[in-house]
Chain A
Amino acid sequence: MTAAEAPIRIRGLEKSFSGRAVLKGVDLDVHKGETLVILGRSGCGKSVLLRHVLGLLEPDAGEVQVFGERLADLSRVRRKEMRLKFGTVFQNAALFDSLSTAENIEFGLLEHRMMNAREARVRAKECLALVGLEDVEERLPSDLSGGMRKRVALARAIAMRPEVILYDEPTTGLDPMTSDQINDLMVKLKNSLGVTAIAVTHDMHSALKIASRIVLMDEGRVRCIETPEGARRSADPLLRQFLANIINP
């Protein structure tokens, strides 16, 4: 499979913290245009895997290839350039709390001199409209609800027109209805922008709704990879447990 077909390739990835192995040899390809959901219990290494893709963590062994280049071989400057191809939605939205909603979205555009202030404001409004928010430009993150903050984080992630979006627990901490709105939004963004996405979650309902493929991680390894349909029919006991939680929450 070429870099164009699989923009992210992970081979034999291992990572330990204070002697505790979190990733124990992960192999994974992320196909262009798909939404790959990484599912697993808390502490199984999902978020750590995501941070390796962004180059925020260095692996103990193995490698991550992004758009055909090994992250470990990239210089600091080149790695920064590479990160501009990614948009990230963090678990708690991670909005800059001293900046207004619009300033949060404009931030990357202005810092990287991609646009002037007026153009960046127009882009911020477009992105906010895309996630269904209006008239919140001047509000501070502290004045927004949890669901609205997640939407603003989504708007910020797409503002720089990334090729890949990374979602870290996008529905954690939200009520079921707001979670569904965020799920619908992720599907809408995938369809309208055609971006590749990796979503880390332990929410099976969300996984079935947004995923092209579901990767089940357990004990720092990939346990199985399924399509949503395959996951529904799977006999894997851990996957059945996740499914049971949807049926009997």
Chain B
Amino acid sequence: MPGRAAVAWVGTWFLETVSTVGGIFALLGRTMAAAVWAGSPRRWRWTREQMVAIGVKSLGVTGAILFLVGMVIAFQTAYQMRSIGAEILIPGLLAVSIVRELGPMLTALVIAGRAGAAMTAELGSMKVTEQVEALEAMSVDPVEHLVVPRFWASVVTVPLLTIFASTIGILGGFLVCYGKLGISPTAFTSQVFKTLVVGDIVAGLAKSFIFGMLICVVSCYQGLSVSGGAGGVGRSTMRAVVVSFLLIILADFVFTVLFYLLP
């Protein structure tokens, strides 16, 4: 009976989705509580190691991507603006779109694909090799020891990486404006600061803070939920990236609507 099978499939999918979302939010709650009230006495050491893994080692790739994106935006807008003789507006458009939207989102997507996937794979491997169980057997809470340092590292480094990558993105756009459109450095800087307001920077950083939180919790949840050996680690890693991407874009949409509605 294909109809019955389809209903069963939809039902199973729905229950699994509800269970995953519930699990992610439950882990977020436990992590936030542990991040404030508990944690390993050596949490700073673990956090510092994670900051290097998530932040320092992602500098190159996020910088390179935003640099290219900045150049692409400059070229694309130049193509449109030239027809109405408004090339001078390009620096402002570039800065706002990068600081408010593309910088936070692209940085988060890169971190989700790079560091988030690594988090899931690492925790998943620990789960299948009984290292997570060994922590519990030693009376060490895996959330306090494994998730909290990654949480702090994510919520600190993702906004910092966003600032870095956005700056590089604007620099990429500047090179196009200066080299191809003849906009002087002074005019470029003046247009950027005239267009960009504090609210744009705050909005971009607020988003990146939330994205950092989402990447960490989704990736750690998937890692700690691994079952079934190496194949399970692979499946959970893929799921972590897909769910992180979806939640980042969903959160970005919610933020954009909120900022639009707010006075």
Please list the residues of chain A having a beta carbon within 8 angstroms of any beta carbon in chain B. 51, 54, 56, 80-81, 83-84, 86, 88, 90-92, 94-97, 107-108, 110-113, 160, 166
Q: Is the CB of A80 within 8 A of B130?
A: no
B145 interface hit (Cβ, 8 Å): yes
Q: Which residues of A contact B134 (CB under 8 A)?
A: 88, 90, 94-96
- Distance between Cα atoms of A127 and B112 in the complex (Å): 41
Q: When the two chains form their complex, are residues B145 and A90 in contact, meaning their CB atoms are under 8 A apart? A: no
26 interchain pairs (CB within 8 A)?
A54-B136, A54-B137, A56-B133, A80-B141, A83-B137, A83-B139, A88-B137, A90-B130, A91-B130, A92-B130, A94-B133, A96-B134, A97-B126, A97-B131, A107-B138, A108-B138, A108-B139, A108-B140, A110-B42, A111-B40, A111-B41, A111-B138, A111-B145, A112-B139, A113-B41, A166-B137
Contact A84 B139 (CB under 8 A): yes
B43 shortest CB reach to chain A, Å: 10
The residue from B40, B42, B137 contacting A56, defined by CB atoms under 8 A apart: B137
Question: Which residues of B lie under 8 Å from residue A112 when comparing CB positions?
Answer: 139
B133 touches A111 (CB 8 A): no
- Check B139–A80 contact: CB distance below 8 A: yes
Q: 0/1 per residue, B137-152, Cβ < 8 Å to A?
A: 1111100010000000
Q: B: which residues have CB within 8 A of A?
A: 40-42, 125-126, 129-131, 133-134, 136-141, 145
| Shortest distance from the beta carbon of A239 to any chain B beta carbon, whole Å | 29
Cα A110 to Cα B131 with chains together (Å): 17
CB pair A81 B130 closer than 8 Å: no
A97 to B132, CA, bound (A): 12
Nearest-neighbour CB distance to chain B for A86, whole angstroms, equals 7
- Contacts of A88 on B, CB cut-off 8 Å? 134, 137-138
The answer on a CB contact under 8 Å between A111 and B131 is: no
Nearest CB of chain B from residue A70's CB, rounded to whole Å: 18
7 closest A-B pairs by beta carbon, nearest first, are A94-B130, A94-B134, A80-B139, A88-B137, A83-B139, A108-B138, A90-B130
Closest Cβ of chain B to A216, distance in Å, is 25
Contact A86 B140 (CB under 8 A): no
Instruction: Tell me the bound Cα distance from A9 to B141 in angstroms.
Output: 26
- Contact check, B138 vs A94: say whether CB atoms are below 8 A apart: no
> Nearest CB to that of B144 among chain A residues?
A111
A54 to B125, CA, bound (A): 22
Smallest beta-carbon distance B26→chain A, Å: 15
Q: Are B41's CB and A96's CB within 8 A?
A: no
A62, B112: Cα distance in complex, Å: 44
Docked complex Cα distance between A96 and B123 (Å):
11
A150 to chain B, nearest CB (A): 13
* Chain B nearest Cβ from A54, distance in angstroms: 6
Q: How far is the CA of A10 from the CA of B147 in the complex (A)?
A: 34
Contact, CB under 8 Å: A92 / B139: no
Q: Which residue of B lies closest to A96 (CB)?
A: B131
Give Cα distance in the complex from A242 to B139, angstroms: 35
Please indicate the chain B residues that have their CB under 8 angstroms from the CB of A107 in the complex: 138, 140
For B42, the chain A residues whose CB sits under 8 A away are: 110-111
Q: Which of A86, A92, A94, A166 has the most CB of B within 10 A?
A: A94
Task: Write out the residue numbers on chain B whose beta carbons fall within 8 Å of the beta carbon of A160.
Answer: 138
Closest A residue to B140 by beta carbon equals A111
A97 to B131, CA, bound (A): 9
Q: Which residues of chain A are near B40, meaning CB under 8 Å?
A: 111
Contacts of A91 in B (CB 8 A): 130
Name the distance in Å between A144's Cβ and chain B's nearest Cβ: 14
Q: Which residues on the B side are within 8 Å of A97 (C-beta)?
A: 125-126, 129, 131
Chain B residues positioned under 8 Å from A81 (CB to CB): 139
A95 → chain B closest CB, angstroms: 8
Supply 16 further A-B pairs (C-beta < 8 A) apart from A54-B137, A56-B136, A110-B41: A56-B133, A56-B137, A83-B136, A83-B137, A86-B137, A92-B129, A94-B131, A95-B134, A96-B131, A108-B138, A108-B139, A108-B140, A110-B42, A111-B40, A111-B41, A111-B145
Count chain B CB atoms within 10 A of each CB in A56, A88, A91 and give the residue with the most: A88
User: Which residues from chain A contact B130 at a C-beta distance below 8 Å?
Assistant: 90-92, 94
